[in-house]
Structure 1
Amino acid sequence: MAMIARILLGIEEIEIIMLSLMFVFFFGTFKSIMRQILFTGSINTNKIIGSMALFLLLGLMWAIAYLILIRVFPDSIHGINSGPWHENFSDAAYFSFVTLTTLGYGDILPVTPIAKVFAYLEAIVGVFYMAIVVSSLVSSSGSKHLGRDE
């Protein structure tokens, strides 16, 4: 699809536009799911699955952000080349989830200052996400046990 758009529209950086649209779509989906699961009543299977979906969407959104970063600054992440995004997606997703879970780096590393900023912001978001989700689920569980179920 990017090749067709590049040929028909003559836009050289169509991949950045497509990745940005994907990011916006995932962000909208993230917001929609977040409204449904956080601090909204008792815990059920849908909330737990929604919490997992949110975490996976966070990782995918950061992977797309890294792919955009690589298109703009090709050597910003060591271990991910500057080829087409679809060839680098698995490496970007791997790097994203390693960062989001604060697992630690090995073969893929942020090199430039902007890549390092992205990496530490993602790590902070990952830690805050866990804190917010756990507090949401605990408060929902506590209100159910105290007879304050919404």
Structure 2
Amino acid sequence: MRPASLAAVGLALAGLVPTAGPATAEPAGGGPPSAGRSPLAVHEHQRLDWGRCSPEQRKLNEAGARCAKVTVPLDYSDPGGRTIKIAVSRIRASSPHGRRGILLSNPGGPGGTGLANTLALRPSLKDVAGRYDLIGFDPRFLGESTPIS
């Protein structure tokens, strides 16, 4: 398993942007923000522990995808408060030496899961899938992300 860093950049999901990271998992967050640092800084550059997807995601596992969870604030106006986990999936670029970045599939809404959307999109992206990791996710409170409570 290779963890990857993800930067939170959007409000609804924190716009996941993975980059290569070290081979060991590290806890999310980095303590309270320091002066001059964004209150969301503790959620940026998380180390994700990529592993097999859940048994319910059989097709993702068969496709060689890896899954992880990213920690985000429940309420972005209170970034130091309660957090939830967003389930993400990744199908690595088939040509890692020519890798250019990621393509993030947003399931839209309302109410749809998207962890496995990359499988449906993959055939139409065959010309670029070799150079981009395909990222899917289950939005807040849906699928394998933290349920609403």
Return the structure number with greater helix share.
1
Question: Structure 1-normalised TM-score?
Answer: 0.27
Question: Structure 2-normalised TM-score?
Answer: 0.27
Quick check: which has more Rg, 1 or 2?
1
Return the structure number with greater strand share.
2
